[in-house]
Amino acid sequence: MSDSNINSIQKVRHGKLLDINCPSRQVLQHIASRWGILVLIALDKDTLRFNELRKKIVGISEKMLSQTLQTFEKDGFIHRTMLPVMPPHTEYSLTPLGLEVYQQVIQLSDWIEHNLPRVLEASGNDQE
């Protein structure tokens, strides 16, 4: 790898997330979207078909699931496998990169669920 390639990667890797021109913002938007996080959690270490994912993620529309899966496939987080059967079946699973993102997201998700009573209390929405 040339020095210029390494410098380009370092600039992106050490980008300024708060800068509107930082390319990491787009990836953050994909991951941190409402449906993005839920798709990552739903896939976990499973391989699921579209309808299985849709049933698992209650409330997601076909359109939003399709868009999220396409975005994550472009980002390299999801592997899509089309099976040669009739009718056609498509399976989705996390790539190694997707599993890394999942590990980060699940920590945040676990923290939220663990601390939900405190958050609800702080926001005045304590539901006893």
Distance CA(109)–CA(38), nearest Å, equals 10
pLDDT band per the 50, 70, 90 thresholds, residue 41: very high
The per-residue pLDDT for 11 is 54
Q: What are the residue ranges of helices labelled H in 1-127?
A: 3-13, 24-32, 34-43, 50-56, 62-75, 96-122
The per-residue pLDDT for 16 is 75
Six token digits for residue 110: 């676990």
Cut 0.75: pTM above it? yes
Closest CA to 95 of 113, 65, 69: 69
Q: Could you report the per-residue pLDDT of 82-111, keeping only the tens digit for each?
A: 988 888 889 999 999 999 999 999 999 999
Helix (H, G, I), strand (E, B) or coil at 126: coil
